[in-house]
């Protein structure tokens, strides 16, 4: 009976690539791989303890053991599991306690492959949806009051089906907020369909949105469009300001009427879709440039959110650094303790034109290069020291920029030197000049 029940879970939600169930000690009672990627480490691990199957996991890193201990579910935690001999697979894990009254008697874990080179299976036609939204409000790392207010706004907006528009620079986390709206709504078990509007050619736009009927043009087949795919779920239109203006008028009609007509079709099809749109520029500017219809803006910006760039929430940088360091330690099986104070100083001074996404990639890059247990300036990508982002600012204080550059050069030289004499030699200045500059910049250094 339990086998049949678990098979239904994987079929119904199109979510599970691996499902396992354990008892209260972590002993595996059920284990099923719905999609194999090679030869398994253990063909039948039933009867084994979860920590014996995945020996790189510990009690404090295994989602199963944490859920059993605390009795609280863990949703969408990224893990690296040695399921197959040929590869270590990255999975998004959701683990839930199994209770008998108040007592936790076991755990059920659902794993979904998250490797970028692992292609998803086609959507199961019976349900016509794919649940590809992984993030929730809990994934947003911030202590900034404006961002925390946005999180509350997201939670409130999730209770309705009103259209949501999110404006933010590239890398600020627009899709994270979009997925959070979906995952905190009553639509969370239905489809989350995402489409980058810049990738929609005008000639195919209607067919992509509304679908086609067989015979409507040479080679045409009965095919669902984005609106049908997202029926009773959420449709995210990313960078809507890059969508052709002619296609925007057709999108407006569909959102107003809540119905579509396939290319070559006769009958209208009613659709129940929540629309979330994102822009990477100020919508007022987009409307003035003529790349966003005003009537479409008013229709889609019922709930409007503006995400702060990272340079306007610098207090979150240490939190985000710790968050990404912890994530990559868990993913790579490393033990990096954090970043050197000189790195933190650089991070706080840097503009972050790529925002949170850029910071995340910088940390990942550093993990690949670090030789010690702390990330130093030498582990960072070279572009962080160029400060070329300043050319886009309206006012430039040359003295301050020269001081910033000089300070960064000194910090980089210090991180790889054992003494001030060695540092001064690297910088081609005297030890006395170096000491003067350290005092001028307020840098407290223990080296002699």
More confident residue, 182 or 433: 182
Indicate whether 51 pLDDT > 50.
Answer: yes
**With b meaning 16 or more CB within 10 Å and e meaning fewer, what string describes 130-147?**
bbbbbbbbebbebeeeeb
pLDDT of the residue at 182 = 92
Q: Which residues of 190-226 are buried (b: 16+ CB within 10 A; e: fewer)?
A: bbbbbbebeebeeeebbbbbbbbbeebeeeeeebbbb
Phi/psi region, residue 294 (left: phi>0; alpha: psi -120 to 50; beta: rest), is alpha
Tell me: pLDDT of 67 over 50: yes
Look-up: residue for tokens 């300036």? 377
- Of residues 399 and 247, the one with the higher pLDDT is 247
Q: Provide the pLDDT for residue 203.
A: 78
Looking at per-residue pLDDT, the higher value among 435 and 145 belongs to: 145
| Least reliable range by pLDDT among 36-45, 240-249, 309-318 | 36-45
pLDDT reading at 307 higher than 70:
yes
314-440, CATH topology level: Helicase, Ruva Protein; domain 3 (1.10.8)
What is the CATH code for 137-306?
Answer: 3.40.50.300
pLDDT at 15: 57
Q: At how many degrees (to 10) do helices 341-349 and 398-415 cross?
A: 160
CATH class of 2-113: alpha beta
pLDDT for 399: 66
Domain coordinates in residue numbering, the chain:
2-113, 137-306, 314-440
> Mean per-residue pLDDT for 197-206?
82
Out of 113-122, 257-266, 327-336, pick the least confident. 113-122
- pLDDT at 448 (0 to 100): 65
Q: CA-to-CA distance for 248 and 202, rounded, in angstroms?
A: 10
- Min mean pLDDT across 145-149, 153-157, 321-325, 418-422 is at 418-422
Mean pLDDT of 416-422: 81
In whole angstroms, what is the distance from residue 110 CA to residue 255 CA?
A: 35
The interaxial angle of helices 398-415 and 420-427, nearest 10 deg, is 130
> What mean pLDDT is predicted for residues 148-159?
93
- Mean of per-residue pLDDT scores for the chain: 83
pLDDT digits (tens, 9 = 90+) for 165-185: 999 999 999 999 999 999 888
pLDDT band at 187 (very low <50, low <70, confident <90, very high): confident
Please give the pLDDT value at position 115: 61
- Helix-strand-coil percent breakdown of the chain, rounded to 5? 40, 20, 40
**Rounded average pLDDT over 402-414:** 79
Mean pLDDT, range 292-298, rounded to an integer: 94
Choose between 6 and 213: higher pLDDT.
Answer: 213
């Amino acid at each position: 009976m339990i086998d049949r029940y678990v098979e239904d879970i994987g079929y119904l939600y199109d979510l599970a690539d691996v499902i396992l169930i354990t008892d209260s000690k972590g002993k595996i009672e059920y284990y099923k791989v719905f999609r194999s990627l090679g030869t398994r480490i253990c063909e039948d691990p039933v009867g084994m303890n979860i920590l014996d199957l995945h020996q790189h996991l510990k009690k404090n890193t295994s989602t199963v053991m944490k859920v059993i201990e605390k009795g609280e579910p863990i949703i969408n935690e990224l893990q690296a599991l040695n399921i197959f001999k040929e590869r270590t697979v990255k999975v998004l894990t959701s683990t839930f306690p199994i209770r008998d009254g108040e007592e936790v008697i076991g755990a059920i874990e659902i794993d979904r492959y998250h490797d970028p080179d692992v292609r998803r299976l086609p959507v199961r036609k019976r349900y016509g949806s794919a649940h590809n939204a992984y993030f929730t409000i809990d994934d947003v790392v911030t202590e900034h009051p404006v961002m925390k207010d946005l999180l509350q706004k997201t939670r409130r907006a999730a209770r309705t089906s009103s259209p949501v528009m999110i404006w933010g620079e590239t890398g600020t986390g627009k899709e994270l907020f979009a997925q959070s709206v979906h995952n905190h709504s009553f639509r969370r078990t239905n489809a989350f369909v995402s489409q980058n509007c810049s990738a929609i050619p005008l000639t195919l736009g209607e067919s992509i949105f509304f679908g086609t009927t067989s015979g409507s043009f040479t080679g045409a087949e009965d095919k669902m469009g984005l609106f049908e795919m997202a029926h009773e779920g959420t449709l995210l239109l990313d960078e809507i300001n890059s969508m052709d203006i002619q296609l925007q008028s057709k999108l407006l009609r569909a959102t107003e009427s809540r119905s579509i007509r396939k290319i070559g079709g006769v009958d209208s099809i009613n659709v129940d879709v929540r629309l979330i749109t994102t822009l990477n520029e100020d919508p007022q500017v987009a409307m003035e440039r003529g790349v966003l219809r005003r009537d479409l803006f008013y229709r889609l910006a019922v709930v409007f959110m503006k995400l702060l760039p990272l340079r306007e929430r610098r207090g979150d940088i240490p939190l985000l650094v710790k968050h990404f360091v912890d994530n990559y330690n868990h993913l790579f099986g490393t033990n990096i303790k954090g970043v050197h104070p000189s790195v933190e100083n650089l991070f706080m001074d840097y503009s972050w034109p790529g925002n949170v996404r850029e910071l995340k990639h910088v940390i990942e890059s550093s993990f690949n290069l670090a030789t010690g247990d702390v990330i130093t300036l030498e582990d960072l990508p070279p572009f962080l020291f160029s400060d070329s982002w300043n050319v886009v600012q309206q006012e430039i204080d040359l003295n301050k920029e020269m001081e910033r550059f000089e300070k960064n050069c000194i910090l980089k030289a210090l991180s790889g030197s054992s003494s001030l004499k060695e540092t001064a030699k690297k910088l081609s200045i005297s030890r006395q000049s170096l000491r003067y500059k350290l005092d001028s910049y307020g840098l407290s250094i223990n080296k002699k």
